[in-house]
Chains A and B, each alone.
Chain A
């Protein structure tokens, strides 16, 4: 007799023995049948070991049947397709599947981390908080890197994922979560109304555990009703069934998210273009939770050894894939259900005995076991398990409730154990959005109580364990759900079928099976297998004062990580209850959080990757820039030309060339991205007076004025030039990144505060192409374009505006400058932009015109000390701080932010103020953001007195320039301050005016 798990010669309702499938597990070539899971096929190959535990690196095998599996976590797929932390029980095998075990190094059977098990005396609950406290510097350099390497579950792929993912948004009248007999029956009852019904099930096959329960419906067994039910549902046009789809979270207003694994099980689907995963975003009228119940493990010494499984999992593997867990086993239970596993094992010819912690159970199944001659030990527990990589033997001891330690025990050789500590209704979705739960003494578990949303739990999820009651509940709830969505919904008229099922005896809670010897003497009673939390850890947490269950959870990590306490939650509470003498309901539960099971980042991102991640905005001249070889930079969603390197020219050389071209000849800038908002109406001027710090009602027609905008806190949020086009009509320019924000801001104030104003705000940024012609030759270039207006300095001075034509081009021309040079910004309707651009380039050829990019623009403006919102300001900067107090009106009674500027904290001393900086060494270019310190010391900390906001090498001046916000900067002109940089270098710089070039501003008016 082999002691290993193996495939039986016959049986297996899910597998097709004619369809062989080959795959690899940890590089080993294995084969199974179509219908196998990774778990069943690896077991069938004789292998028990699936992974190592998180903290102690103990060898671990399969425990569960489905999504509750906490040990057999695997990574599946190669390179960019690799997905970690999948439960082997839910991975369907296919030809070419490549799976690997996790949390072991270098291999499953030899694992360096297992040394932790020997150290376990020093790794109790909360060990993170105790052990790694000192010396302090060790945390960063020794402890953390070591822990990060040793701990953690799977590894994420590092390559780009080649597959497609997608999102679906749907509305459904009734959503049924769980496709077992409860869910399918409820779905049929709801669908009879004609309403839209959606059924979601995490498994490939519908029916839940109908094939594993006792009883008969009509003339057949329980599972027999499933195929016909599915056929009927599929035939109804209003029912949509999603298999392989996990409802991962329930959110406000009956919003449900579900992750569908569309093509994981079949690479041919992927090859045919199917998305790999699909995330469903569902708005439900009414939700029916038929999520079933999960079996509880029992806490006995060394209950984590490979070969110890949940009784339902043993039964499932036998029935579905004909996989036997071993040759000689023990069923260890505190309830009737596990007896079904004993019967199934015996039918498969596997030797089995039963250990039942109850003294005198009286259910039908127990009576049958006794009658059929099973070796049943009542009033007994398994007190200890022998074997490390596999179960070798169990010790059986007599037990009475409350007993602390075992004196005598009997050794029984076996190679597997099927355990059952009872069943927990799956409450995750019920609780995600605040559903209340109550403790049920009969289940020794929590069940749904009340919920504020339109959501109902049925069947095992509701704590209803009988098939007959489940079907009645499902029919009634399905019909009621339809009625609750639509009061005129038709009644289903489906009659419940007759059900026969065994009478069940009562379960007796068993939170802890005592052992000989103390804790940690080879006796680990695991509660949370995934996080390696034992009974001793929980009791220690109690002794150390972590009374609240939420504190215990965080201290011990009970119920955390991918598992979310599916098998450990109630057992943990049971242990805490016994340790504290409080009843479980008094202890309460921890919070269930989405997701129910992990889902992929691909599903979260959906199609919103690469080019679709964020739409790119392009100016009308984008193609020209591209053809000219421009390097682009993102500015908000815009792509702007950063510089235009000639062939063989590096970026810095190109920028220098562009700057000098503007200073000495003439340059052309695509400024189309500049925010443009038209403000029109009889109250437009008054409105602008409210939103700008300076006054616009006094602005003359055809004139431009630079304005500053603050929020109500008194901090700068935007700036730009506004032009008065007509008495009641203004054109506001905003920063490129601020256009949408500022138009929304203006709308908000008009709609919510000054509702009496008659003003329209219209964003027109994209309606216009706008170019800056800047440089001493700008006017001459413009003159070549045949303007129908007077270009002379007298008729068209700086800060004025003309509308007219340049040759064939209708234009608005603003004489404004962000470079300090004679400068005209020319705007034309966007669709005419390229034509005008070409015309300007042609007209400027004789003057040496060249396009310049955003970096040249920034250097040019910095040479003049012009601020950029977001560079020289950081959201806590006032107009006073940047030296623009002259633009803050003293006459206006009110404008946004005015009153806040008078608050004490903005008037206080030591505010950081904007200054210019000239480094001692003109070749030193300070890094952006470099800190100025009060006093340079050998090493940090040093007291910071400000930071660099803009810093450039100025080709015009032939040296570096910078601006900085420095504490009391305006009073420190001429002072030398220090900037310690990385690597120990200290740069000294003199505080100066921010205007580095053409201080008297003559060039701008030339």
Chain B
């Protein structure tokens, strides 16, 4: 039973007061370019998820509080939350740097797109 803090309203409570929303930062291809989505892109969007040992980024909803969605960075080994941040935001810079494997690739790719 982990303790979650909502970055929007500040509510802090057991995970049962919140709703887990799976992996964060999944881009929906149809929102940007619905006409040009390959079967593989759609498959990845729907089904392919990271399963890291260590730092992970995920979505939560403040179910019994303000009802808002937000992001969280959590260590899947220690279960410790490293940050809570807004639903439209990327993780804090230092956590992006700490990320490994597919998450590191993801943040590099996004940085490139931005640049």
- The residues of A with any CB-CB pair to B shorter than 8 Å are 251-253, 255, 281, 283, 452, 712-713, 744, 747-748, 751-755, 893-894, 898-900, 903-904
Contacts and interface: CB of A to CB of B under 8 A. Distances in A.
Given A751-B69, A753-B28, A904 B39 contact: yes
A255 B1 contact: yes
B48 interface: no
B46 interface: yes
Contact of A893 (B1, B3, B35, B79): B35
29 contacts: A251-B1, A252-B1, A252-B2, A252-B79, A253-B3, A255-B1, A255-B2, A283-B3, A452-B77, A452-B78, A452-B80, A712-B28, A712-B45, A747-B67, A748-B21, A748-B61, A751-B69, A751-B87, A753-B28, A753-B31, A754-B31, A755-B87, A893-B35, A894-B31, A894-B34, A899-B29, A899-B34, A903-B39, A903-B42
A232 to B, nearest CB: 32
A753 B34 CA distance: 14
A682 B3 CA distance: 38
Given A253-B3, A893-B35, A900-B46, A752 B59 contact: yes
Interface string B9-23: 000001000000100
B34 A713 contact: no
**Residue among B1, B45, B88 having the largest count of chain A Cβ atoms under 10 Å:** B1
Interface in B43-85: 43, 45-46, 59, 61, 67-69, 77-80
Interface of B: 1-3, 14, 21, 28-31, 34-35, 37, 39, 42-43, 45-46, 59, 61, 67-69, 77-80, 87-88
Nearest to A747: B67
A555 B80 CA distance: 35
B67 A893 contact: no
A508 to B, nearest CB: 38
Contacts of B31: 753-754, 894
Contacts of B39: 903-904
Contacts of A894: 30-31, 34
A712 B46 contact: yes
A746 to B, nearest CB: 12
A283 B16 CA distance: 14
Contact of A899 (B30, B69, B87): B30
Contacts of A898: 30, 34
Contacts of A754: 31
Nearest to A169: B14
Nearest to A748: B69
Contacts of B21: 748
A755 B86 CA distance: 12
Contacts of B88: 755
Contacts of A452: 77-78, 80
Contacts of B14: 255, 283
A255 B30 CA distance: 42
Contacts of A251: 1
Contacts of B37: 899
B43 A903 contact: yes
B69 A752 contact: yes
Nearest to B28: A753
Contacts of B3: 253, 283
**Residue among A751, A753, A893, A904 having the largest count of chain B Cβ atoms under 10 Å:** A751
Given A894-B30, A899-B34, A253 B69 contact: no
A614 B28 CA distance: 37
A404 B5 CA distance: 60
Contacts of A753: 28, 31
A850 to B, nearest CB: 42
A752 B70 CA distance: 9
B42 A253 contact: no
Given A252-B79, A253-B79, A894-B30, 19 more contacts: A252-B2, A255-B1, A255-B14, A281-B1, A283-B3, A452-B77, A713-B46, A744-B61, A748-B61, A751-B68, A751-B87, A753-B31, A754-B31, A755-B87, A894-B31, A898-B34, A899-B34, A899-B42, A900-B42
A900 B29 CA distance: 11
5 closest residue pairs by CB, A with B: A894-B34, A255-B1, A252-B79, A751-B69, A452-B78
A642 to B, nearest CB: 32
B86 to A, nearest CB: 10
A744 B61 CA distance: 10
Contacts of B67: 747
Contacts of A904: 39
A789 B45 CA distance: 50
A898 B35 CA distance: 11
A541 B31 CA distance: 58
Nearest to A897: B30
A747 B59 CA distance: 14
A751 B3 CA distance: 23
Nearest to B43: A903
A951 B106 CA distance: 51
B11 to A, nearest CB: 15
A253 B1 contact: yes
Contacts of A751: 68-69, 87
Contacts of B1: 251-253, 255, 281
A253 B12 CA distance: 13
Contacts of B2: 252-253, 255
A748 B61 CA distance: 9
A752 B87 contact: yes
B60 to A, nearest CB: 11
B32 to A, nearest CB: 9
Contacts of A899: 29-30, 34, 37, 42
Nearest to A256: B1
A372 B3 CA distance: 59
A368 B59 CA distance: 67
A754 B2 CA distance: 30
Contacts of A744: 61
**Residue among A255, A713, A755, A894 having the largest count of chain B Cβ atoms under 10 Å:** A894
Nearest to A755: B88
Nearest to B35: A893
A541 B100 CA distance: 41
A795 B34 CA distance: 41
A281 B67 CA distance: 25
B37 to A, nearest CB: 5
Nearest to A283: B3
Nearest to B27: A753
Contacts of B59: 752
A255 B77 CA distance: 16
Nearest to A712: B46
A251 B14 CA distance: 12
A748 B29 CA distance: 17
Contacts of A283: 3, 14
A255 B2 CA distance: 8
A754 B28 CA distance: 11
B3 to A, nearest CB: 5
Nearest to A751: B69
Nearest to A892: B34
A620 to B, nearest CB: 26
A281 B35 CA distance: 52
Contacts of A748: 21, 61, 69
